[in-house]
Structure formats: structure tokens, C-alpha cells
């Protein structure tokens, strides 16, 4: 059997969609799963053992028939994004069943039938899995099947050594986020970094190239001796870095979902969105909520300390 998943963006959302592929594999052993993904985030499904082939999208061939010819026939196609760009891929595919995540926008409902989530599916990850279940997928608790590759692991370990990491348990902090309203203040991240290093653990800051300005603000508040990996990791290297972390601290952003997908403890700082729906999967109890200035450093450090002690570090 063959299945098509259309989920083009963004980073955290692509990560949260991975269990749908694993559910299809569990329900149909030996099946092939093809994933259409935006070039910027295609590394994520490529690192998922439940995905057999990644096609870079959006697909802009001259004729609609070329999409069907390129992708082939499918038993079912799943639109897990609910936008026109993701729905067109499903609509033009040669699939016997065309199913979609229930929140459909931009006319995407014209191309695939929405799958209403189970009443118990509060988290978006479980709602994506519900779409796979409608195609015969099987899953009780989300399995992301995400693993770092050896080359990226070696590269990150080398960078950490160059930065001066001495092998102490590593706490990775992400002070950036797509929206300014989702960001915990830089001064708070600096104070947290000082608390963590004073307790004897190592701290590394990560983020994209666009987060360099935010990290400069953190540095202006004297975070102490920290490792700087901001803007220095590709997506595969980011996955590798978070796989090496004992704890990750971030807002509602892609790195938090990667850490959870890897089974790493993640302290989520939710200043705007509802953690019940979008927290690091399975880690609602580690989330702190409220306006950015209202989440106390002491409470965040307490969550970090608790996670480290649970891990025996």
C-alpha cells in the first residue's frame, strides 16, 4: 500500500505531524509513505524512519497531470496542513481516499474530506494521528520515529567541544520565537542561564540566524559562561543538538517540539498559545504560562532542576 502526506510547513508543525506517518506504518506494515514538504523543513521527515520518500514542495509543475505522474497512485492522501498549497497536492494526487485535518482554510475543503478529531484528542499531534486512523493507521501514544543522523551528531559534538563544552550535563536554551509575543524576556533567559551554570550544569543557546539579535540582548544581561550555537546549526544539526540535551527550555516554537519528539525533557514557556493543544507532546506538566514578564525565573529553574534530577544528573 502507498500513502501520501502533504504537510509543507512550518518547523514545529511538521514535527508534530510525524506520528501520522508512524501510525500508517503500524496499521499497514510494509506500506510506503511519501511526504511532500517545503524545502526549508524537508530535513525533518527525512530523519523520520516512518517516511520512505520526501518530495520537495510546493509542487508547481506546468500541468496538473504532471503531479499525478510524478507521485504515482496512492491508497490514501492526507492533507495535514489545511491550506490551499497543501490541499492542491492531495486533490491532484491519484489517491482512492483524500482525507484532511479538520481545520481547513483557503478553500482546502474542496480537495479533501475533513476528519473530525476524537473527543479525547486535545493535543494537535493526536488530531493529526486521527486523520491517519481514518486511513487505517494504528497508534495509542504518539511515536515520532525521529532520530539524528551520525554525521550531524559528530558535527555538533565537534562544535560543542570547540565552544568549550567539558562534558557536563547540557541544558539547551532557545530565547527566540517566531512572534515577539511568544518570547520570554532576554533578561530572564540570562538570569536562568546564570542559575543553571552556578548549579554546575552547562548551558548552550541555540536558534536560527534571525535570533542573533535576541541572543545579543541576552548577552547584554550577563548570562555567564554559555555556549553559543545560535544560527550555527542546520536542521539536522539542531535535531542532533537537542538529542544531546538533558533539558531544553523554549517558548512555543519548533525546537520545543523537536526536543519532545526525541524524548528529551522540555520546559515550555507559553505566553500566548494554549499548552493543552500545543505543548511539547506529553509534557504539559513542565509548561509555565502567562504574560512574558509574569513567568518567574525561579519557577523555570525549578522545572529544569526537577527534570535533571529525574534524569539522575
User: Which tens digits make up the pLDDT trace of 133-181?
Assistant: 999 999 999 999 999 999 999 999 999 999 999 999 999 999 987 666 7
| Average pLDDT, integer, range 17-26 | 98
Mean predicted confidence (pLDDT) in 215-229: 97
Distance in angstroms (rounded) separating the CA atoms of residues 219 and 222: 5
Q: Give how far Cα 52 sits from Cα of 36, 49, 55, Å.
A: 11, 7, 10
Beta bridge partners of 288: 269
Averaged pLDDT for residues 220-231 = 97
Per-residue pLDDT at 59: 66
Domain boundaries, the chain: 2-133, 150-310
pLDDT, position 23: 98
Question: What number is the average pLDDT over the span 116-124?
Answer: 97
170-173 and 113-115 strand pairing: unpaired
Global confidence as pTM: 0.96
Neighbours of 152 (CB within 10 A): 21
Cis peptide before 10 (omega within 30 of 0): yes
Under CATH, to which class is 150-310 assigned?
Answer: alpha beta
Q: Is residue 12 pLDDT above 60, yes or no?
A: yes
Going by their DSSP bridges, the two strands 202-207 and 113-115 should be labelled as unpaired
Report, as an integer, the average pLDDT of 252-279. Answer: 94
CB 211 within 8 A of CB 127: no
pLDDT of res. 206: 98
- Mean pLDDT, range 270-277, rounded to an integer: 88
How far apart (Å, rounded) are the C-alpha atoms in residues 137 and 108? 23
Give the other-Cβ count within 10 Å of 185's Cβ.
17
Q: Which fold has domain 2-133?
A: Rossmann fold (3.40.50)
Amino acid at each position: 500500500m502507498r500513502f501520501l502526506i502533504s504537510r509543507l510547513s512550518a518547523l514545529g508543525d511538521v514535527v508534530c505531524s510525524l506520528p501520522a506517518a508512524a501510525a500508517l506504518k503500524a496499521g499497514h506494515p510494509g506500506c510506503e509513505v511519501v511526504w511532500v514538504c517545503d524545502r526549508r523543513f524537508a530535513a525533518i521527515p527525512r530523519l523520520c524512519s516512518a517516511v520512505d520518500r520526501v518530495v520537495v514542495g510546493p509542487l508547481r509543475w506546468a500541468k496538473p497531470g504532471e503531479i499525478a505522474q510524478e507521485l504515482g497512485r496512492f491508497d490514501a492522501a492526507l492533507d495535514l496542513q489545511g491550506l490551499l498549497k497543501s490541499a492542491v497536492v492531495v486533490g491532484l494526487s491519484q489517491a482512492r481516499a483524500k482525507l484532511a485535518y479538520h481545520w481547513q482554510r483557503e478553500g482546502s475543503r474542496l480537495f479533501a474530506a475533513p476528519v473530525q478529531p476524537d473527543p479525547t484528542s486535545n493535543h494537535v499531534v493526536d488530531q493529526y494521528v486521527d486523520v491517519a486512523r481514518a486511513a487505517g493507521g494504528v497508534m495509542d501514544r504518539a511515536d515520532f520515529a525521529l532520530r539524528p543522523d551520525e554525521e550531524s551528531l559528530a558535527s555538533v559534538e565537534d562544535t560543542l567541544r570547540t565552544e568549550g563544552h567539558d562534558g557536563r550535563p547540557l541544558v539547551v536554551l532557545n530565547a527566540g520565537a517566531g512572534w515577539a509575543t511568544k518570547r520570554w524576556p532576554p533578561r530572564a533567559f540570562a538570569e536562568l542561564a546564570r542559575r543553571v551554570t552556578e548549579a554546575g550544569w552547562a548551558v548552550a543557546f541555540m536558534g536560527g540566524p534571525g535570533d542573533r539579535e535576541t541572543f545579543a540582548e541576552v548577552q547584554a544581561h550577563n548570562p555567564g559562561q554559555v555556549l553559543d550555537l545560535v544560527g550555527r546549526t542546520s536542521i539536522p544539526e539542531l535535531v542532533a543538538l537537542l538529542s544531546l540535551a538533558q533539558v531544553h527550555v523554549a517558548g512555543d516554537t519548533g525546537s520545543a517540539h523537536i526536543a519532545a519528539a526525541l524524548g528529551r525533557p522540555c520546559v515550555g514557556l507559553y505566553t500566548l498559545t494554549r499548552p493543552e493543544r500545543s505543548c511539547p507532546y506529553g509534557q504539559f506538566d513542565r509548561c509555565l504560562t502567562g504574560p512574558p514578564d509574569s513567568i518567574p525565573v525561579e519557577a523555570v529553574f525549578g522545572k529544569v532542576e526537577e527534570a535533571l534530577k529525574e534524569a539522575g544528573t
